[in-house]
Chains A and B, each alone.
Chain A
Amino acid sequence: MITLKNIKKSYFIGERELPILKGINLEIKEGEFVILMGVSGSGKTTLMNIIGLLDKQTEGEFYFMDTFVDGLDDEALASFRNRHIGFVFQQFFLLPYLNAIENVLIPMVYSDKQIKHPRDKAKRLLEKFGLLERIHNRPSQLSGGEQQRVAIARALINDPSLVLADEPTGALDSKTGNEIMQLFGMLNEDGKTVIVVTHDPKLASFGKRLIRIEDGTISEDITA
């Protein structure tokens, strides 16, 4: 599903090159549940942004769903993200002026997939996550855990094959965090490929594969 060949990423501060990723080789297959672990500054978020087609590598080759994605234009990348990736973020990023179900439906506005009755589907997703009574609530009326579950429903509305989560438990207490991680496990069992990026070692046990990033390289890659 994802193939990274010698991926390098540097930022330039004036003349100085600041290497973030120093040659990542990685293959992730369909149906995997990967925990991408690293301390702050290790390059894990940059790697996630590249995998999520939100950022571009400086060097190396990247294949996504067997497509060589380097050199795709803005429109093609946007369409790729829309079709194949569901994002979950630490800060949830729900839109304040929309209620839960409307937030879930956001990707549909940009989608050209044929999904029948998207509203019913959004409702089913929220129901599955125990939010049936909350569908008309604004984000400000929801708890952190509820907001994150709405965000996960939003990530799933367009049937992506990959769910990409960046510190999804970072803003939650550990009990709620564990519930969210269990939710990802459930999604994985339903066939979704899941990648969770985190610095929190306690989350390692939730995944099936642990990839540790240290100083821009993969230092450990264990499949349970």
Chain B
Amino acid sequence: MGLSQKISQLREFLEETIKILYYYRSRVIFSFSGVALGILSICVIVTTIDGANRKAYEIFEALGPDAIMIFSGSERQRTARERVNTLTIYDADSLQRIGGIYDVLKIYAVRGVNMKYQDRKWQTMVAGGTENYFTSFKWGLQSGSFFGSKEYDNAEAVCVIGAKVYEELFKGESAIGKVIQIGQLPTKVVGVLEERGGTVGGPNIDDRVVMPLTTVMSRLSNEKRFLTMIRLKTSRDPDATIEDVKSVLRSNHGIQGTEDDFTTRSSKDILQFVSVISGSLFLFLGTAAIVALVVSGFVLANLFYLTIQERKKDIGIRRAYGATRKGILLSFLFESVFITIIGGIAGVLLSIALQGTFEKLFDIPMVFSFKVVVFSLIFSFLTGLLSGLKPAMKASRIEPIEAIRG
């Protein structure tokens, strides 16, 4: 048989399939929309998780892959949100002597501080940090400047505010040089941080005020010794450095074999935490999407099964005119796969069209990749194949004479 004839037969077959689907459109539309919705949710899930992971990776990069955080209080206390201060300035200074550590950031943070600008009020965390706060976090400014050693040494009432705080207190007006009331302390705004965006499931990074550590300790909270957190950077392997950090702090705090009164975190831990969150998101939403697909698969199978009876004569006449059992089986399978593939494509397109809406809704960027499209098409294909199998087998077993006689 010539190739051109094969092609024209295939075209004929394809056209016929489309006409059949159009003829039974009221049923087709059900299966089609079920698959489209299932695929839509899969697309949203996968792209959102990809987006969240990318975001997490950006944060990880911004934090610095070589960063180590040490918090006051044991793991248990932190989990219970019991806040105790155990780290001291002395601790920070002794950690500086560990080999490979090249950056030590001391932080004393006060939570739930009330602040006011004119009649606008806000409550958030105030982080007192050493001068290297901004370089250590690789955090840039959208306006103004950082505080320097003069402000630091003199414990001046100056602050750099996060994008969220800027939005709440200034609503887009110029903030530089303005004085806001932080607690009881009138403080001059010298800079506004650039926006970093929220983490998945975490607090909003931009919702903070940064002040010199000296100012916070002496003028905001009257603290002379303790820190809430120390942030280190190391040129060595983070895990090995953490072990050194632990032994120094244990010796400083006189801990022998009992529970540590501090907690260490590397950037790697944070990344793991984020992927656990997006992992459970995946599990939850993924299950919902699979259920949607399975349900639409069943709907498809049932509607299809019903049409077989109605199309008995159709099948009989095709068999009489030379269709084999295999041919009937394949044509019915093709029909169902055709519906689900088209449904899948519609789902993908729909999710691309709705990308903006979803991004606003979940505040997570969606990252479309080739992977998503391939995934969706494979899922649609499998749905069509599995749900079409039983009806197609039933169709192929119909004998021409029983179909024609009836």
Contact = CB atoms under 8 A, between A and B. Distances in A.
Contacts of A39: none
Contacts of B2: 114
Contacts of B316: 93
B320 A81 contact: yes
Nearest to A85: B320
Interface string B2-13: 100100110011
Indicate the member of B2, B12, B320 with the most A CB atoms within 10 Å: B320
Given A102-B16, A109-B12, A109-B13, A95 B317 contact: yes
B16 A93 contact: no
A21 B318 CA distance: 27
B323 A110 contact: yes
Interface in A76-135: 78-79, 81-83, 87, 89, 91, 93, 95-98, 102, 105-112, 114, 118
B327 interface: yes
Nearest to A55: B401
B324 A75 contact: yes
A109 B404 contact: no
Contact of B20 (A75, A97, A105, A109): A97
Given A102-B15, A102-B19, 17 more contacts: A54-B319, A54-B320, A54-B399, A74-B324, A78-B323, A79-B322, A93-B316, A93-B404, A97-B23, A98-B16, A105-B12, A107-B322, A109-B12, A110-B324, A112-B1, A114-B2, A114-B5
Contacts of A111: 9, 322
Contacts of A89: 317, 404
Contacts of B319: 54, 78
B312 to A, nearest CB: 11
A177 interface: no
A45 B400 CA distance: 13
Contacts of B401: 49, 54-55
A89 B322 CA distance: 16
Contacts, number: 78
B314 A95 contact: yes
Give the top 6 A-B pairs by smallest Cβ distance, nearest first: A82-B322, A97-B23, A110-B322, A107-B321, A78-B324, A93-B317
Nearest to B15: A102
28 contacts: A45-B405, A54-B320, A54-B401, A75-B324, A78-B327, A79-B322, A81-B320, A82-B322, A83-B322, A87-B317, A89-B404, A93-B313, A93-B317, A97-B20, A97-B23, A98-B16, A98-B19, A102-B15, A102-B16, A106-B321, A108-B9, A109-B9, A109-B323, A110-B322, A111-B322, A112-B1, A114-B1, A114-B2
Indicate the member of B15, B19, B324, B325 with the most A CB atoms within 10 Å: B324
Where chain B touches its partner, the secondary structure class is helix
Interface in A153-190: 154, 158
Interface string A136-158: 00000000000000000010001
A52 interface: yes
B76 interface: no
A127 B16 CA distance: 23
Nearest to A106: B321
B11 to A, nearest CB: 10
B327 A52 contact: no
A147 to B, nearest CB: 13
Interface of A: 45, 49, 52, 54-55, 74-75, 78-79, 81-83, 87, 89, 91, 93, 95-98, 102, 105-112, 114, 118, 154, 158
Contact of B317 (A55, A82, A106): A106
Contacts of B404: 54, 89, 93
Given A54-B400, A89-B404, A93-B404, A110 B321 contact: yes
Indicate the member of A54, A102, A105 with the most B CB atoms within 10 Å: A54
B26 to A, nearest CB: 13
B35 to A, nearest CB: 22
Indicate the member of A89, A97, A98 with the most B CB atoms within 10 Å: A97
B30 interface: no
A97 B9 CA distance: 18
B171 interface: no
A102 B317 CA distance: 14
Contacts of B9: 108-109, 111
Interface in B372-406: 399-401, 404-405
A41 B135 CA distance: 99
B326 interface: yes
A154 B319 CA distance: 14
Contacts of A45: 405
A108 B326 CA distance: 17
Contacts of A98: 16, 19
B170 interface: no
Contacts of A95: 314, 317
B22 interface: yes
B345 to A, nearest CB: 23
B20 A81 contact: no
Contacts of A55: 401
Contacts of B1: 112, 114
Contacts of B23: 96-97
A75 to B, nearest CB: 5
